[in-house]
Structure 1
Amino acid sequence: MLRASKVRTSKSKSPYARPPTRGAVVASRASTRMPNVTSSSSGPSTVAVTESTGRIYDRSQSLPVPVVQPTVQPVLDRARAPSDQTVEPSVAGSSTNTDGIWVVGSSIIHWAQKYAQQNIDDNLGLTSQRIIWQGIRGMVWSRLYQTIKEILRQCNRHPTLLVIHCGGNDIGNPRNTLKGLQKYMKLTVSKITRLLPKTIIVWSHILPRRNWSLCLSNKDGENWRTRLNSALATFVVKKVCGASIKYPDILSTQGTLFRKDGLHLSDLGNELFVTSLKNALLQFMSSTDRFYPLIKQ
């Protein structure tokens, strides 16, 4: 193996010593073999923060907030469902209002929409806003931002409210750490607020499960879920002036709220989930002041 010679500075150099040309040549050759490395930007480094001006729609005043990069890369979903290739949002209602409510997430949202179609209606009884559902079965957090961008491209309008219910399928993945996943999720929410600056972001709490298949134990999975919910709810409410929705009636995995797989909600569980979501949206629509205190953190 070739090595670049080192020049000693502690002793005087002999007048008969050969100039260290070989070492310089080796060093130059080594430098020519080094590949060009181009640093890539991981995204904007500021978070849009809206000041309280009496109305939640005012996001004109922004303060730069440094964003910490995640310590690990999110796990990409290798087995993508056919719906991942082309996102086709399900639009409920016939309102021509330029705004709307987007409900985006994983299979919990998919089955909640199915339940609403059969028992209430797609628009959950709302008349002044239309609901756009986008529930992708098996959805992981790394697909959230692109999904929202695709809905925006198809609808060509910003929503009044964006409900995010995602992240449960990332819990316990061995390529993630809890701290790294928290940072990555916050970074994504910050990107969404820049993409939709006039939209109110609502964090929908990750629901418990009977079986956390990627975790060493169900107790470990519940610990991840609790800490992620706390971190994201605090970030959304305090940093982007949004809101969060809890589901206190679905905190227990006992009884008949879940299917046999311990992951998806039963009809009773979907009824509780949809009812809580509907009540939160109705409170928002009936509020004349800042709405997020009405939906408890």
Structure 2
Amino acid sequence: MPPRKVQQKKGVRVLKQASKRPSTQHHQPSDEEEDMGTIRALVARVDALERERLQPCDAGAGPSTASTGKKSARLVEKCTKSRILASLVSRIGVLEAAAPVQEPAVLPSPVASSVVLLASSFPMFSRPDVDGLLQGQAQSPQSSVLPGSSESSALVASPLVASPAAYAGILNLPVPVRIVLCGHSILFWVHRRASSSFSGMQLQLSASATVSWEARRGMLWDALLPLVCRTMASAAQPHILLIHLGENDLVQRPGMDLLLKVRRDLTWLRRSYPNLILVWSDMLVRRIWRGAIYTNKIDRSRKWVNRKVRDLILSLGGVCISHDRVKFYSPQLFRDDGVHLSERGCDLFLEDLRLGLRSLFSLLG
């Protein structure tokens, strides 16, 4: 039989035991709470200083508003950490913007819109605003006119970004200027296309320059220095060296490793051949990266290395040529392999080279 319930006696009150709750008397504040208290004190001090600055300077006047008493704990909790940090960051930004900034002296340049002035120090991991100068070129209207026509030349902006040292070096060069183009299979097939293209293998620069092509299919960055040394040891030493390399290396090594090699080799070329003008041709996007597992990471690495090498080339007194019209979402510019350029893509590449070098040679007349 089930146990009988014990009947409560009349007049006796049963007291329930209070649930045990953790005592808060000896609660130790955490590091985050201490930081929040410090931040709140800083914000309160900044608010007080701003109110004092806005109030009229009157010794006999009292406070402009009456005291509202202590804020409730609920209202204080609504002031989250993100809002406090945002307030501090915005105010610090205003104070820094008001501080005097020492700007470098601007050197005179023949083409002011194409010149980027950098500090004399070697800014390896700093970013000058090079992309801002290229923004107008990226937003230039796309034209369906074939390259080479007068209408196409009028609509397409020059893809050249040069340092003042490059312009000064061009003025001191004899005419005709000897140019050597070094690169891998992209340059190899562009050279083939140039033989039957409107620009020709001399890129329509025969009046002021002679162009020679040194393209190797599958060429990696490590093969650049031996090729340049052989070229410089010849009787006709080039005055300008254009480099289009790096895409093949991105699949085989990290972007940081490639950047360190590029920095070392280009710096060595500048010290060894101080009169040689270096021209960097931006690495192109690819629809297919052979051997890559994560293609989006490879493309992000390509963009990052391009930006860093632009800064490096400009700091060395060189020239950069971009290829903003060769885009991933334009399959007609690529062959079926997704790597090499089609005839249309080769024409755009040649047009970028021609316009960039022509704007540089405009000083020679």
TM tier, smaller: 0.5 to 0.7
Counterpart contact for 1:116–1:274, Cα < 8 Å: yes
Deviates more, 1:258-267 or 1:192-201: 192-201
User: What is residue 278 of structure 2 aligned with on the other side?
Assistant: 201
- Correspondence 1:165 to 2:165: no
**5+ unaligned residues in a row in structure 1: which ranges?**
1-51, 57-62, 69-95, 290-297
1:98 is displaced (CA, Å) by 6.4
1:65 is displaced (CA, Å) by 6.5
User: What is residue 128 of structure 1 aligned with on the other side?
Assistant: 208
User: What is residue 128 of structure 2 aligned with on the other side?
Assistant: none
Question: Partner of 2:192: helix, strand, or coil?
Answer: helix
User: What is residue 277 of structure 1 aligned with on the other side?
Assistant: 353
Question: Partner of 2:325: helix, strand, or coil?
Answer: helix
In structure 1, how many angstroms separate the alpha carbons of the residues matched to 2:176 and 2:235? Answer: 10
User: What is residue 236 of structure 1 aligned with on the other side?
Assistant: 313
1:152-187 deviations in whole A, cap 9, x for unaligned?
22344241x2211001100021xx222122111111
Counterpart contact for 1:202–1:244, Cα < 8 Å: yes
Deviates more, 1:228-237 or 1:119-128: 119-128
User: What is residue 186 of structure 1 aligned with on the other side?
Assistant: 263
Question: Out of 166, 185, 189, which is 1:107 matched to?
Answer: 185
Query: How many aligned residue pairs are there?
Result: 202
Structure showing greater Rg: 2
In structure 1, how many angstroms separate the alpha carbons of the residues matched to 2:260 and 2:344? Answer: 34
User: What is residue 210 of structure 1 aligned with on the other side?
Assistant: 287
- Correspondence 1:118 to 2:206: no
1:99 is displaced (CA, Å) by 3.5
Q: Residues 128 and 234 (structure 1 numbering): CA distance in 2 closer, same or farther, change over 3 Å?
A: same
Runs of 4+ in 1 over 4 A off after TM superposition: 52-56, 63-68
1:251 is displaced (CA, Å) by 2.4
Q: Residues 270 and 130 (structure 1 numbering): CA distance in 2 closer, same or farther, change over 3 Å?
A: same
1:64 is displaced (CA, Å) by 9.2
User: What is residue 221 of structure 2 aligned with on the other side?
Assistant: 141
Percent of paired sites with the same residue: 25
Q: Residues 213 and 115 (structure 1 numbering): CA distance in 2 closer, same or farther, change over 3 Å?
A: same
Q: Residues 226 and 208 (structure 1 numbering): CA distance in 2 closer, same or farther, change over 3 Å?
A: same
In structure 1, how many angstroms separate the alpha carbons of the residues matched to 2:197 and 2:330? Answer: 24
The AA in structure 2 aligned to 1:149 is C
Structure with a larger share of its residues in helix: 2
TM-score (norm 1): 0.62
The AA in structure 2 aligned to 1:196 is Y
Counterpart contact for 1:98–1:157, Cα < 8 Å: no
